[in-house]
Every structure is written in C-alpha cells, then in structure tokens.
C-alpha cells in the first residue's frame, strides 16, 4: 500500500509549481520589471531620440509592459485557490491526513512538522482569499481602506508562506541527510506504508 496516494502527490507537485510560478512573477515584478525602473529606461531611451514624456506617462507604459506577466499571475492565482480548496478535500483521505493522526503521541519534532504544514495551509488559504479579494474588489464594492488592508494581508501571507516553504525544504533536506531517507522519492513514487 502506498504511503502517499497519487491524488495527494499530484496535488503536492502542482502546488509546488504554482507557488514557484506565482513567487517568480512577484520577484520579477518587484525587480527587473519594477515600474519605476522600467519607466526610467523608457524616459532615458526616448530622450535620446529627443522625445520627452512625463514620468507618469512612462510609468503607465511600464505598467502596460508588465501587464501580461501580471495577468498570468492572476490566472495561475485562480488555480492556486482551486488547489487550496482541493487540499481541504484531501484531508478526508487517509493519505491527506496521515501527518495529523495520533498527534499527541508524536515526538516534538513531528508535532513541529505537522504544525508547519498546517501553517502553510493556513497562509495559503489567506493568500487565496486575499488574492481573490484584490481581484474582485470592484465587484465586492470594497472601500479603498479595505482594499489596502487586504493587500497588506496578501503580502504578509505570501512572505509568511514563503518562509514556511523554505523551512519545509530545509527540513526535508536535513531529514534526508540524517535518518529519514527517501522523503522526496516517496513524494514522487508514493513510497510504502510502514
């Protein structure tokens, strides 16, 4: 009998890919496609051809340039929200809840691992709900103050989840190097129930 069901493993790797993609779009948007940096390049390049535009116009052009990337972030965000809902459905399966059964008998380390996963799912939920709130704020008729708060929650949830994902990866590497060989391969091939 497999330790991890194919449905759980598929969910896990889709979640990984989706989160990596969305994180990459944020990183690109905040660095090489920063609206102020791109606007400065546009202004400088046009000035070499004796074309002068205002900084506001250059920023508008920069936003248009990075728009398609952000459209993909939003599109993948819908799939991310679907994956979050799917994870809650997977809690109903043996594979999806095995990290949380017999919690009281677990070692402190294993309780920490389970708690980290729960925190990841909690922040993923906050990330999905706040992302949808940002996207549909006009239809929800939210005030500017509320939209600002939702954006802050979205950003906080992203960075908290990013930190937890990094801790998870580090924990898997440490466990693989110590006494829990095969964690990654089990998440690929399903492993065997002990």
More confident residue, 157 or 2: 157
Assess if residue 181 is contained within a domain.
yes
pLDDT of residue 186: 84
pLDDT at 1: 63
The candidate with the shortest Cα–Cα distance to 124, out of 166, 90, 75, 158, is 158
Query: The whole model's pTM is what?
Result: 0.86
* Assigned domain for 194 exists: no
> Residue 101: CB partners within 8 Å, gap ≥ 6?
none
* Count of structural domains, the chain: 1
Residue 176 vs residues 31, 125, 173, 185: alpha-carbon distances, Å = 34, 29, 5, 10
What is the span of the domain harbouring residue 18?
A: 6-189
Report d(CA 41, CA 62) in Å as an integer. 9
Q: Report the alpha-carbon distance of residue 46 to residue 181 in Å, rounded.
A: 58
Average pLDDT estimate for 62-80: 94
What is the per-residue DSSP string for 54-121? -HHHHHHHHHHHHHHHHHHHHHHHHHHHHHHHHHHHHTTSHHHHTTTTTGGGS-HHHHHHHHHHHHHH
User: Is residue 83 predicted with pLDDT exceeding 70?
Assistant: yes
- The more confident residue out of 190 and 168 is 168
Question: Does pLDDT of 194 surpass 80?
Answer: no
- pLDDT over 80 (residue 78): yes
In the structure, what pLDDT confidence band is assigned to residue 112 with cuts at 50, 70 and 90?
Answer: confident
Given this model, what pLDDT does residue 154 score? 97
1 domain-assigned = no
pLDDT on residue 134? 94
Q: Which residues contact 184 (CB under 8 A, 6 or more apart)?
A: 172, 176
**158 lies in a domain?**
yes
- Rounded Cα distance, 95 and 76, in Å: 26
* DSSP collapsed to 3 states, 106-142: CCHHHHHHHHHHHHHHHHHHHHHHHHHHHHCHHHHCC
């Amino acid at each position: 009998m497999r330790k991890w069901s194919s449905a759980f493993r598929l969910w896990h790797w889709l979640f990984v890919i989706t989160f990596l993609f969305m994180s990459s779009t944020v990183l690109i948007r905040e660095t090489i496609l920063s609206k102020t940096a791109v606007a400065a390049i546009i202004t400088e390049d046009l000035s070499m051809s004796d074309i002068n535009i205002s900084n506001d116009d250059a920023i508008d052009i920069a936003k248009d340039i990075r728009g398609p990337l952000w459209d993909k972030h939003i599109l993948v965000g819908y799939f991310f929200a679907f994956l979050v809902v799917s994870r809650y459905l997977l809690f109903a399966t043996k594979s999806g809840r095995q990290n949380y059964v017999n919690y009281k008998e677990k070692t402190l380390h294993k309780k920490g691992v389970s708690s980290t996963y729960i925190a990841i799912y909690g922040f993923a939920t906050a990330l999905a709900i706040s992302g949808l709130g940002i996207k549909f704020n006009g239809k929800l008729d939210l005030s500017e103050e509320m939209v600002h708060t939702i954006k802050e929650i979205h950003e906080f949830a992203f960075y908290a989840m990013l930190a937890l994902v990094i801790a998870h990866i580090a924990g898997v590497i440490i466990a693989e190097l110590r006494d829990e060989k095969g964690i990654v391969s089990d998440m690929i091939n399903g492993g065997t129930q002990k």
